[in-house]
Amino acid sequence: MSLVVTGAEVLQVVNMDLALEAAEEAFRAYGEGRVNMPPKSYLQLPKGDFRAMYGALSGEYEVCGCKWVNVHPENPQRGLPTVMAKIILNDPDTALEIADLDGTYITNYRTGAAGGLAARYLARADAVSLGVIGAGVQARMQIFATLRTRPINRITIYNRTLSRAEALQDDIISRCGLAVEVTTDPEAAVRDHDIIVTTTPANEPLVQSDWISPGTHINAIGADAAGKQELDPAILRRARIIVDDWGQARHSGEINVALSQGLLSPEQIHGSLGDVVAGKISGRQSDTEITVFDSTGLIIQDLALGFAVYKGAKERGLGEDKEFIPGLPAGA
């Protein structure tokens, strides 16, 4: 039997603390070699793309599975989400499907949690100000995740469309009661901020090197396909760079353009967040160091959070059991 869990039911289970817990275990498993994760595949379409992602985790989460997820940047103009997903979870021993989950909210939360986890391990302990480039769903999730891991008391949001930034401002103020400013000048959202988060689909740098102060941590979230970049390559040359996965980051992460243009060498990549979480390599080494986390999104994040949501749904009596293959033994 497979438990079918809708998006509305996922939202009854998932929260940022659960997502951060799952992210930490997923990245620790990566660092300890307890994952099987082939590279994601892309299906290019006229208005966007689909990504096929699949892999396996062992340890606390014994699960394998796949995700089918789109990125269509023009969808908000049609009243549709930019990102939508479906996640299938399987038992690695028997191959039986155990869950069929709406993956849209899981994707949103796990991406936010990766940024929050990076801030926990790479940002200065006394980081209190957050600058956000972009004002979409992922900007919101990155803010919530960062608030769980650092004592943020001031937020500045940049977006080309002021009304979107103001909508996010109102949401954050109503939920968290923090001081939130909005701007149509990206420099104002970056200069003199301890943590910077970039969440746009840009193909040209939005953040310039001379805006970045020593000691800043940057979560580069938006670049997730070849040709995308949000940061001036000069920032990367100044920084200690931590990727989620070298294989994905080099062809679709923030570093992909700088590498392809010879502005950055592979030797300048310090390592992976999983290796930092597992204690194999250092993270930040001084309060004046600039750190960058290049996040492309890993299937192990989806598997870990998806499995946690599946268990939570079962405990709450949510979802609907479906027998997709008739005649299987009882309990299968």
Question: In Å, how far are 245, 246, 257, 287 from 295, measured between CA atoms?
Answer: 8, 10, 14, 22
Please name each of the domains of the chain with its CATH number.
2-107+299-322 (3.30.1780.10), 124-294 (3.40.50.720)
| Residue 45 structure tokens | 């379409």
| Residue 308 structure tokens | 């946690």
Question: 43: helix, coil or strand?
Answer: strand
pLDDT digits (tens, 9 = 90+) for 276-323: 999 999 999 999 999 999 999 999 999 999 999 999 999 999 999 998
DSSP 227: T
Q: Which residues of the chain have pLDDT under 70?
A: 330-332
Q: Using CA atoms, how far apart are residues 111 and 67, in angstroms rounded to an integer?
A: 14
Over pLDDT 70: what percentage of the chain? Answer: 99
Quick one: pLDDT at residue 327? 77
Quick one: pLDDT at residue 251? 93
Q: Using CA atoms, how far apart are residues 17 and 105, in angstroms rounded to an integer?
A: 14
Quick one: pLDDT at residue 150? 98
Quick one: pLDDT at residue 27? 98
Read out DSSP for 89-122? EE-TTT--EEEEEE-HHHHHHHHHHHHHHHHHHH
Quick one: pLDDT at residue 330? 64
Quick one: pLDDT at residue 325? 83
* Catalytic site positions: 67
List CB contacts of 179: < 8 A, sequence separation 6 or more. 153, 154, 155
pLDDT digits (tens, 9 = 90+) for 233-260: 999 999 999 999 999 999 999 999 999 9
Q: Rounded to 5 degrees, what angle do the CA atoms 177, 21, 306 make? A: 105
| Residue 278 structure tokens | 């597992």
Quick one: pLDDT at residue 326? 85
Name the average pLDDT for the chain: 96
| Residue 7 structure tokens | 């998006």
